[in-house]
A and B are shown apart, each in its own frame.
Chain A
Amino acid sequence: MIKYEIKHTTTYEYGDNVSQCHNLVYLLPRDTRHQRCINMTVSVNPMPVHSQRREDYFGNQTFYFSVEKPHRSLTVISRSKVEVEEVRPTLNLDFGVTCEQALKLMADDRSEATLLAREFILNSPMVAANEALHEYATPFFAADKPLLSSVRELTTQIYKDFTYDPEFTSVATPLSEVLEHRRGVCQDFAHLAIGCLRSMGFPARYVSGYIETLPAPGQEKLVGSDATHAWVAVYSPGEGWFEFDPTNDKLAEEQHITTAWGRDYSDVSPLKGVIFGGGDQQSLSVAVDVNRITL
């Protein structure tokens, strides 16, 4: 087991007083097949009058709070400790269900897991299947090829074709623009992979979380230099869900720490809500630290 300590700080500064706010955050790691959250806390400044932690529809951890005194800035700090499985059964992508079999099973298999996975083939608020995505993905999904190795190739191709460019996109950039300009960030690449998979008829979901980054040799790691991350999971009938990271051209493994999953970003955005007042101007800053610890 590898143990991580994560600190995620979000700060909003407003141009004018906010008289009250209601917010919903997805900043606490959930339990998964490969990870367990040991403890977690969220602290909010100014002090909320109401707050509540609970599990959402997808089984994610959410935290709801409302602040009711006037404020110009809002800080949310989440801290958690997570254990992640270090050694996983080696995944041999060259065996297993073929694309053709997977499609057939998706239609015919009556197991609960497969029936529920069908939710993730459908369009979602930010990701809709379409011709262009279908065209981009088709070469990788030959009928007799194993599904998982096809997905791996797809994500490798995305990694090769697309440039990581934080300046280019925002949370609201549509997928079509990402595809056209071949630029984006992890969130866009995850959405792209999801769109490709759904266009081919496979269930795919969005996974948000963190990735451990290591400093260059001989240098010290900078505080707050880590970032939130996003990748994609695909469902193979009879085999379960498997995670791929198109941004880094790899499988999600022990350096990936999952916060939440959903149909796309809109289901699990880290912090959303409504404010009263606040003027037209607001600025957001985020700092993330992911560190290995020994307990």
Chain B
Amino acid sequence: MQTPINSKLGPLSYSTHSEGFDEVFAEDGAIREHWQYLFDSLNQLGIEAIDERHSKAQRILRDDGATYNVYQEAIAKSRAWFLDPVPHVIKSEDWGDIESGILERSELMNLLLQDIYGAREIIKYNLVPPELIFSHKGFLRPCHNVKLPGEHQLILHAVDMIRDEDGEMCAISDRTQAPSGAGYALENRTVMSRIFPSLFRDSHVHRLALFFRSLRSKLSELSPGVSVPRIVVLTPGAYNETYFEHAYLANYLGFTLVQGGDLTVRDGFVWMKSLEGLRKVDVILRRVDDMYCDPVELRGDSHLGVPGLLEVVRAGRVVVANPLGSGVLENPAILKYLTEIGRFFLGREPRLKSVDTFWCADPKDFDHVIDNFDDMVIKPTFRKPGTFSILVSDLDDKQKNKLKKSIKDAPHLYVAQGYMKPSQTPAWIDQGLVSRPAILRSFSVAAESSYSVMPGGLTRIGGDADTTILTNQRGSESKDTWVIASEPEKQISLRSEAASTVKEVSEHSTDLPSRVVENLFWMGRYAERAESALRLLRSVFVRLNGFEYLSEAATQTLLRSVTHLTNTYPGFTVENSDLFKSPEAELVSVVLDEQRIGGVTSSLLAMLTSAEEVKELLSADTQRVINDIGDELETLKSVFKKQLASAPEEALDPLVTALLALSGLCQESMIRGMGWRFMEIGRRFERALQTISLLRATMVPVLNETDEMILLESVLFSVEALITYRRRYRTDMNVASAIDLVMLDETNPRSLIYQLTRLEEHLSVLPKVETMQRLSEKEKLVLEAKTSLQLSDLQRFTQTESDAGIRENLDQALVRIQRLLIEGAGKVSEKYFDHADGPQLLVKSGWEL
């Protein structure tokens, strides 16, 4: 049915779907009042403007690095987060009911959690079959009697809800482990308020900031005693599907983002390994599933956790939220008994109703499920990657039988829920409003004696009007959820908050885990490595395709320099005349082959991986440049793969430009903290080492004068010194002045001496432990390299004493500096990066807990 939404105001129409509750239209066909203002505004904007803002939204999301990674795909393929530009609107009065329902449900779940790991009265009084708890993998026996301080055990709770056909909200599942989505909701809100500033302002939308403020003050309160708590967000790492959110929330809340390996248990406490040594951690907001958090007492095969964590939690010396063991509440079979559990703990039935749930371990339920198989949604009782909710009617007969058999074999692992048609909400698709099924995830956080509920939450919509099951793992779009207040709300934001907790928390925010610093160091090194390879390749392509005659000797030296610089041996170092006659294939492989360590693609991918690991420290602009580098790399592949472009050097230009933009941004926009220093140190070491390789490959061999001129020109071009050289010397090329410019000129930011001077500066301000000595070992190494360079005699460098055809003095000097620098970089790594052996199990077990 096509319904014009307001013919007077504009061109938009909205085709609704006949099934399910309609969010927009009442039964009489009239628009529900709370949608009217939004529709009027959209109509006024018109199709093109909405489209344009939609693109802008996607652009902002991309620049913010907002992704949702899909299991088993590489980082490079992480999926962009999709935001529909039309918000899901809920009116304040409706929301009041929903909110109090969620609040009560959170309280109930809290009491249930307390009971499961305490008295277990629900079992002893026969409220639920014992198997409901005992057979669930999320029931972690080592967590028995482990309690958080205060009256809350459940800190964060999320509820997935859909509206039934009468418009009543109905819970279909709970998330109590490490609920995801709150950060995405916040990002959606941020983007919406940017693309529709006036619409957003005038719609009186309930703000989200209060929820996050509650979260932060709750976590601070939980801290075991000290006045300034150190709070960290524990993430499984960049490969996790919601890593963006972990980084985003850590930033927003002012907490440090850590991985299991960044933490260690010593002396009965949890510590973060930082540059300045170990720092005590008070509260851990965990995004790692509980059974992976401690290989000593929980899953022994986990590398995501912190050995010994549970014992520290038990002693009350660190708080983990949500508490370990809380995953047991995610068992959807609990919904079957929730009414009874509500009566038992609260003395009444829960207000927010749950979808009809059947647990296949119950013989009656089992029969019912099999008899009404086609009407059921089947869910695993224990969620893990690769398990989904399945609508039986979506399956063919063969699949149905297979599913039936799985259920028969292990009935306690499955629940069935009566299929509910989700309500339909408008979405912006192909320049028009069309209806899509919607599911809402709402969030609550423990606050004072109850819970605080995020107004709205994360709405997800199906890919088409008939999508039956909505999950991010299978791709769905998201929406901002607007709870429309009858009057404007007071503005609250975390940042303008006057409370002293903000200042206190941020005291720790300069802490960086060693892993982060290490990744910044490598990000700098890889960026530099890729750049110098690209520059050299560019000048080699120019030369090979140039009109000037190039002797065989010069060609070979030039090509060999590519192999030496990129470390892609054997490459051009073998005697093979065919290879030198048509070097293109090898050159392309150095550019494109991911497997060739040191090649352009390999270095760039390594750089992108490091960048992903430190995502939370990168500004939006930096993120954009990082995205560009990824894109340019893809473009380059397609250009090169089709055929070697007519001017391949030009195909490399955009990447060089993007890398320059990155280094420029880091110079101009990064706070001069330790993170920036380490990235710089990485860059300087790498640039110095690359320059040495280039000089050894090109200037050490003695060629005839013409060839040497040509080589010099290529080298100077690749280190961006050609123009300077010409202006300064105005003469023909000569080796001595070229060496002077590339090695010894303090004013040339690409010269060797310049790198050493910068290194000296950076190293001198790193945290020191060796208090007795004025200079650390690495500083001495760099100083020695620099001194040997300064004391060197330029004339000696150009001489050649034997018949070997090389400049021995130059070579020896370069080799010496190279050795000192490699050793120096090693010392930096040894001192500041984490080299602890990984944990291993004392007894390797063959069973899975």
Residues of A within 8 A of B (CB): 12, 19-24, 49-50, 52, 54, 56-58, 64, 66, 68, 110, 112, 115-116, 118-119, 122-123, 125-126, 171-174, 266-267, 269, 271-278, 282
The yes or no answer to B837 lying at the interface (CB within 8 A) is yes
Chain B hits for A277, CB < 8 A: 837
Chain B hits for A116, CB < 8 A: 123-124, 130
Docked-complex contact A115 and B126, CB < 8 angstroms: yes
Proximity bits, B812-849, A CB within 8 Å = 1, else 0: 00000000000000000000000011111111111111
Chain A hits for B846, CB < 8 A: 171-174
Docked-complex contact B847 and A125, CB < 8 angstroms: yes
How far is it, in angstroms, between the C-alpha of A123 and the C-alpha of B410 when the chains are bound? 11
Docked-complex contact A122 and B131, CB < 8 angstroms: yes
Chain A hits for B124, CB < 8 A: 112, 115-116
Q: Beyond A56-B141, A274-B295, A276-B838: 10 further Cβ-contacts under 8 Å?
A: A49-B267, A57-B144, A115-B124, A118-B130, A118-B131, A119-B130, A126-B847, A171-B843, A172-B847, A173-B846
Which of B187-195, B307-315, B790-798 is found at the contact surface with chain A? Answer: B307-315
Q: Min CB distance, B338 to chain A, in Å?
A: 20
Chain A hits for B296, CB < 8 A: 22-24, 272-274
Docked-complex contact B315 and A52, CB < 8 angstroms: yes
Docked-complex contact A272 and B840, CB < 8 angstroms: no
Interface residues on B, range: 35 or more
Contacts A118-B134, A273-B296; is A171 near B845 (CB within 8 Å)?
Answer: yes
A172, A173, A271: which contacts B842 (Cβ < 8 A)?
A271
B129, B838, B844, B849: which contacts A172 (Cβ < 8 A)?
B844
Q: Min CB distance, A273 to chain B, in Å?
A: 5
Residue of A nearest to B840 (CB): A275
How far is it, in angstroms, between the C-alpha of A69 and the C-alpha of B842 when the chains are bound? 17
Q: Min CB distance, B488 to chain A, in Å?
A: 53
Chain A hits for B265, CB < 8 A: 22, 66
B142, B267, B841, B843: which contacts A50 (Cβ < 8 A)?
B267
Contacts A56-B144, A273-B296, A275-B842; is A64 near B123 (CB within 8 Å)?
Answer: no
Chain B hits for A276, CB < 8 A: 307, 836-840
B141, B145, B839, B848: which contacts A274 (Cβ < 8 A)?
B839
Chain A hits for B134, CB < 8 A: 118-119, 122
Residue of A nearest to B311 (CB): A64
The yes or no answer to B15 lying at the interface (CB within 8 A) is no
How far is it, in angstroms, between the C-alpha of A215 and the C-alpha of B141 when the chains are bound? 40
The yes or no answer to B266 lying at the interface (CB within 8 A) is yes
B129, B266, B837: which contacts A68 (Cβ < 8 A)?
B266
The yes or no answer to B297 lying at the interface (CB within 8 A) is yes
Contacts A19-B836, A57-B142, A116-B123; is A273 near B842 (CB within 8 Å)?
Answer: yes
Residue of B nearest to A267 (CB): B141
How far is it, in angstroms, between the C-alpha of A264 and the C-alpha of B221 when the chains are bound? 40
Docked-complex contact A66 and B308, CB < 8 angstroms: yes
How far is it, in angstroms, between the C-alpha of A49 and the C-alpha of B271 when the chains are bound? 15
**Which residues in chain B, 302-354, are within 8 Å of chain A measured between CB atoms?**
307-308, 311, 314-315
Docked-complex contact A122 and B845, CB < 8 angstroms: no
Chain A hits for B300, CB < 8 A: 272, 274
Q: Min CB distance, B792 to chain A, in Å?
A: 44
Docked-complex contact B849 and A125, CB < 8 angstroms: yes
Chain B hits for A171, CB < 8 A: 843, 845-846
How far is it, in angstroms, between the C-alpha of A126 and the C-alpha of B839 when the chains are bound? 24
The yes or no answer to B41 lying at the interface (CB within 8 A) is no
Q: Min CB distance, A209 to chain B, in Å?
A: 19
The yes or no answer to B268 lying at the interface (CB within 8 A) is yes
Residue of B nearest to A265 (CB): B847
Docked-complex contact A68 and B141, CB < 8 angstroms: no
Identify the 7 closest CB pairs spanning chains A and B, nearest first: A172-B846, A22-B308, A57-B144, A274-B307, A277-B837, A119-B134, A125-B847
Docked-complex contact A272 and B849, CB < 8 angstroms: no
**Which residues in chain B, 120-174, are within 8 Å of chain A measured between CB atoms?**
123-124, 126, 129-131, 134-135, 141-142, 144-145
Docked-complex contact A22 and B266, CB < 8 angstroms: no
How far is it, in angstroms, between the C-alpha of A66 and the C-alpha of B839 when the chains are bound? 13
Chain B hits for A52, CB < 8 A: 311, 314-315
Docked-complex contact A272 and B131, CB < 8 angstroms: no
Chain A hits for B308, CB < 8 A: 22, 66, 274
